[in-house]
Amino acid sequence: MPSTLQRLPAIPASKKAAPHASAEVRTLIDDLIAEQKTLQTPIARYSDYHDTEPDLAPHYRTLIPLSKPGDGEQYAFEVSLDRCTGCKACVSACHSLNGLDDEEAWRDVGMIHGGRKTPGWQQTITTACHHCEDPGCMNGCPVGAYEKDSDTGIVRHLDDQCIGCSYCILKCPFDVPKYSKKRGIVRKCDMCHQRLAEGEAPACVQSCPTEAIRIVKVKTGTSAVAPDFLPGAPDPTITLPTTRYVGRDVPESAVAADRESLVPEHAHWPLVLMLMLTQAGVGMLTGGLGNVVTTILANVLFFAGMGASILHLGQPLKAWRFFLGLRTSWLSREILAFSMFAPIPMVLAALPFVPDFPYKDLITRVTTLSALPIGLIAVFTSVMIYHDTHRTSWRFRLTAGRFFGTVATFASLGNLLAHPSPLATLLFAIGVIAKLIPEVRIVHLALDRNAEWSSDLHTARIQWGPLRLIYDSRVLLAIAAIAFSLLNPWIALPLLLAAELFERQLFFQSVHAPKMPGSFGPKRAH
């Protein structure tokens, strides 16, 4: 059987001997190599097209609407999945045109795969801001640093208004807003609205070599979100994202490629200290009412926490405008509630040292009676801040148990310090153990190897894995606090503070933060 690589018919000897005779001897390999030279990648074809067509403005206008949205419409991204190659040209163009910092990106490229039912299926996903119909970032902002354009539907961030609290990052289920350390504020994609206003395509649209991204007009209201938004992405009913993913059917079993990655989230140390110390202060004050020492200690704890909260703001001098978000933002309500509570511990600490004067007893009685309800209201607003992010691990029952549990344990410790007795010691031990039980139950999930993936399982595996040392320290310190309370409750105080500090660190670092699909590698904490 002749070989497919057989040479062409031999040249006669007479012709072969001729010194100036020329004949081309080609093989199949030569033909294949020549054909390969005519094949181009999408990037190469894109480059050639730009070289041959110097003015491509008319072409790019085919990728954006020719008219502004009408009534009941807004602009939205449309992504053709069958065209996306994951080249990240859109990421690079967005970064370059918007002058982003080195570690800043407003558009990301991730991946989803078919899950257990269709393990061989996978798809790259390019994502940016979804310009939601009901934006979580805008609703959560305490200072009104977001606006949704009434004509185009584009959700814009107002940099000059931002205080850098990063609450919008927690509120957005798609991880869209990004914190800029250089500027101390949050920034995000604005769909290159200035280019659109002039009839030019956004950077990501114009740079995609396969034209996988375009701008379209979509209906608003109940039809703003596609019923099958994108399997493997966060729940679209939270904010009603408007991005359309078309061109390829995605299996219902599809999941984010980085779903199983066990990388701790940002610790948010100022928030760790703020939450733990303010709740400890509220508890110590209400548990040790009437005792000068515990009241002063409560002041130290509470105001240390309030001071730590300022460190979380990139632009703290602008925080006075918190009242702008009172209608929608739990963060604004928390600031108001703690501002109302702040004078109470100061007054209660100062009154014993103030000479008698008219209405002193009345003021003492009013501040004493108001300490507990206003303190609990303030802690409740803290609970709602995190519950309102729709992160499963921060759901109301678990978060309220942690936060009010801290208040209760320090209230029982304050009572023990002010009025030592076997009953007070028993109440303290019960409070600490009661707070530990839900935490241990969650982590117990990590021992079940057959458990289906869930946010709680993710939290359990992170605490049992990368954060195991912190988890063990939290439990051991809590038990040690109980043990030492039998000997000297003042020794139990620093042990309990350390235990609660680790508990609050676990609260932030082990949470499952919803986001758009990432790569197979570990995701980077913001």
Strand 73-80 to strand 244-246: parallel, antiparallel, or no bridges (unpaired)?
parallel
CATH of the domain at 371: 1.20.1630.10
* Contact partners, residue 462, CB within 8 Å, separation at least 6: 262, 264, 509, 510
Q: Same domain, yes or no, for 293 and 399?
A: yes
The token pair at 316 is 């703290």
**Of the residues 256, 279, 302, the one at which a domain ends:** 256
With respect to residue 36, please indicate whether it lies within any of the assigned structural domains.
Answer: no
**Of the residues 230, 256, 282, the one at which a domain ends:** 256
Q: Same domain, yes or no, for 304 and 399?
A: yes
CATH of the domain at 239: 3.30.70.20
With respect to residue 397, please indicate whether it lies within any of the assigned structural domains.
Answer: yes
Do 342 and 299 meet the contact criterion of CB atoms below 8 Å apart? no
Q: Same domain, yes or no, for 250 and 370?
A: no
Give the three-state DSSP class for 193: helix
Q: What is the pLDDT along the chain (526 residues), one digit of tens a residue?
A: 444 333 434 444 444 444 554 456 888 888 888 777 776 666 666 666 666 665 555 666 678 898 889 888 999 999 999 999 999 999 999 999 998 988 889 999 999 998 888 878 999 999 999 999 999 999 999 999 999 999 999 999 999 999 999 999 999 999 999 999 889 999 999 999 999 988 889 999 999 988 999 999 998 876 556 667 888 899 998 999 999 999 888 888 899 999 888 999 999 999 999 999 999 999 999 998 889 999 999 999 999 999 999 999 999 999 999 999 999 999 999 999 999 999 999 999 999 998 888 888 899 999 999 999 999 999 999 999 999 999 999 999 999 999 999 999 999 999 999 999 999 999 999 999 999 999 999 988 888 888 888 999 999 999 999 999 999 999 999 999 999 999 999 999 999 999 999 999 999 999 999 999 987 654 444 4
Q: How far apart are CA 454 and CA 69, in angstroms?
A: 40
The per-residue pLDDT for 199 is 87
Count of Cβ atoms closer than 10 Å to residue 56 Cβ: 12
Q: Same domain, yes or no, for 352 and 214?
A: no
Question: b/e map of 121-157 (b: 16 or more CB within 10 Å)?
Answer: bebbbbbbbbbbbebbbbbbbbbbbbebbeebbbbbb
Count of Cβ atoms closer than 10 Å to residue 43 Cβ: 13
pTM for the whole structure: 0.86
What is the torsional sign of CA 136, 122, 523, 94? Answer: negative
Q: Same domain, yes or no, for 199 and 282?
A: no
**Of the residues 223, 256, 289, the one at which a domain ends:** 256
Q: Same domain, yes or no, for 296 and 157?
A: no
Domain span at residue 360 reads 269-509
The per-residue pLDDT for 62 is 78
With respect to residue 525, please indicate whether it lies within any of the assigned structural domains.
Answer: no
Best CA proximity match to 335, nearest among 357, 320, 347: 320
Q: Same domain, yes or no, for 117 and 198?
A: yes
With respect to residue 165, please indicate whether it lies within any of the assigned structural domains.
Answer: yes
Q: Same domain, yes or no, for 285 and 220?
A: no
Q: Same domain, yes or no, for 209 and 285?
A: no
* Structural domains counted in the chain: 2
